[in-house]
Amino acid sequence: MSRLDFYRSLAIPGDRRILFMVLDGVGGLPHPATGLTELEAANTPALDALAKSGETGLTTPVLPGVTPGSGPAHIALFGYDPVEYQVGRGVLAALGVAADLRPGDVAARINFCTLDDEGNVTDRRAGRIGDEIGEPLARRLDAMADPEGVEIAVRHVKQYRACVVFRGDGLEGDVADTDSQQTGVPPLDLRARQAGSERMARVAAGFVERARAELGDQQAANGVLLRGFDGYSPLPSLEFLYRLDAAAVAAYPMYLGVARLAGMEAHGVADDPAALVGKVMEMGSKDFVFLHYKSTDSRGEDGDFDAKVAEIEKADGVLAQLAEQFDVVMVTGDHSTPSKMRAHSWHPVPLLIASDNCRVGGGSGFGELACAQGALGHVRSSEIMPLVLAHAGRFRKFGA
């Protein structure tokens, strides 16, 4: 019996509400001057109070030493094995903008780009054009028809980014990126990496050629780069596995996408603490609310220690306004993003679970070192979901 089948066999209904708050990239590394990480340096009364009344630990997102992207990191947080359930970035992007995706469809990400007269890429992001340019370009591509009758939908994502969904017989998603990550060279040819994906590569090549013709009159962007091809097969939903009525609240499409993949009702909001709080407050009928807080990761990627500290403090304020509404509160990150490294990292991530059936950690609050000695110990991110469900009384006893 698979792990998920086993947990599913134990799932029962319940009415205790779960807040599942993800501070993107919250884990960090010590500042050389103080020896404190971003999280340890931040003033976080709400997190510290929950850490002291609840249980803390550290979570490894995928496997020791593995630095995850946002997709697999969230798939793990939602309880799936991220190595078994690999989902391409194209599918996540399409789900993020609520594109109509059916099993068997193939999705890819689009970058609008600029090409010179010889067809060499001059800017891979078309000068980071804004939504007001990108959105109508996506609509023009969406209106094009495929001569072989493949249904092709193009949806704008943000700025210079869009996505495309291909629907038709015999399409498989193992197709290489056309983005060589370089300028001064032409986009790469569409190339199937497996025999079954040859039709997909051909159809995509036709799409790229027609896009070039369609956008030929555009100054801002006259070409497209495709990457992250993947066929869509949905995950077993949280409703199917655990009978959860789950909602997601996030400012960025990518996180709404991965939430939809797990069957959550996804709500996009402005990237602003008040908007996040307000939307979560509207979710009173849901028994599971995934709340995604993005800027902790963004400031880590900027390499700005103090700005990341400030974002953690803002997230703490969000938590302070919401915790009382829930019976079980879980806070962690999808991965670490130490500002020292300006990138995602493999370091385990602080984790807290608070409910009325907790062992108190006696810890010193919510930080990397304190969590390393917490009562939860060291877990894998895919184990957090079952722990949270146990605290919510959503599993019956196994055996008598």
User: Which residues are near a second copy by CB under 8 A?
Assistant: 1, 3, 6-7, 10, 29-30, 35, 37, 58, 62-73, 82-83, 86-87, 89, 228, 338, 340-341, 343-348, 357-362, 368-369, 372-375, 377-379, 383, 385-390, 395-400
Helix, strand, or coil (residue 365):
coil
Helix, strand, or coil (residue 280):
helix
Total count of residues recorded for the chain: 400
Residue 270: CB atoms within 10 Å: 11
- Pairing outcome for strands 377-380 and 106-115: unpaired
Q: Which is nearer to a second copy, 50 or 58 (CB)?
A: 58
Q: How far is the CB of 138 from a second copy (least distance, A)?
A: 20
Residue 180: CB atoms within 10 Å: 14
CA angle in degrees (0–180, nearest 5) for 24-86-209: 100
| Per-residue tokens: 298 | 């963004």
* DSSP letters spanning 42-65: S--HHHHHHHHHSEEEEEESSSTT
Beta strands in 116-160 (DSSP E): 121-123, 151-158
Q: Which is nearer to a second copy, 122 or 373 (CB)?
A: 373
Q: How far is the CB of 341 from a second copy (least distance, A)?
A: 6
CA–CA gap between residue 181 and residue 29 (Å, rounded): 29
Q: Which is nearer to a second copy, 115 or 376 (CB)?
A: 376
> How is residue 395 annotated by DSSP?
B
Q: Which is nearer to a second copy, 111 or 222 (CB)?
A: 111
Q: How far is the CB of 93 from a second copy (least distance, A)?
A: 10
CA–CA gap between residue 312 and residue 179 (Å, rounded): 35
Q: Kindly tell me the burial class for residue 108, based on how many C-beta atoms sit within 10 Å of its own C-beta (0-12, 13-18, 19 or more).
A: buried
Task: Give 268's contacts (C-beta < 8 A, 6+ positions apart).
Answer: 250, 251, 253, 256
Q: Which is nearer to a second copy, 115 or 228 (CB)?
A: 228
Four-residue CA torsion sign, 281, 287, 293, 294? negative
Q: How far is the CB of 33 from a second copy (least distance, A)?
A: 13
CB 310 within 8 A of CB 37: no
Q: How far is the CB of 109 from a second copy (least distance, A)?
A: 9
Q: How far is the CB of 390 from a second copy (least distance, A)?
A: 4
Tell me the one-letter amino acid at 68: P
Q: How far is the CB of 120 from a second copy (least distance, A)?
A: 25
Q: Which is nearer to a second copy, 333 or 348 (CB)?
A: 348
Q: Which is nearer to a second copy, 96 or 276 (CB)?
A: 96
Look up tokens 């209106």; give the residue: 143
CA–CA gap between residue 40 and residue 363 (Å, rounded): 13
Q: Kindly tell me the burial class for residue 325, based on how many C-beta atoms sit within 10 Å of its own C-beta (0-12, 13-18, 19 or more).
A: middle
Q: Which is nearer to a second copy, 86 or 194 (CB)?
A: 86
Q: Which is nearer to a second copy, 114 or 382 (CB)?
A: 382
Q: How far is the CB of 253 from a second copy (least distance, A)?
A: 13
Q: How far is the CB of 24 from a second copy (least distance, A)?
A: 14
Helix (H) / strand (E) element for 228: namely: strand 223-231
Q: How far is the CB of 347 from a second copy (least distance, A)?
A: 7
Q: Which is nearer to a second copy, 318 or 333 (CB)?
A: 333
| Per-residue tokens: 134 | 């990108």
Q: How far is the CB of 168 from a second copy (least distance, A)?
A: 26
Q: Which is nearer to a second copy, 267 or 391 (CB)?
A: 391
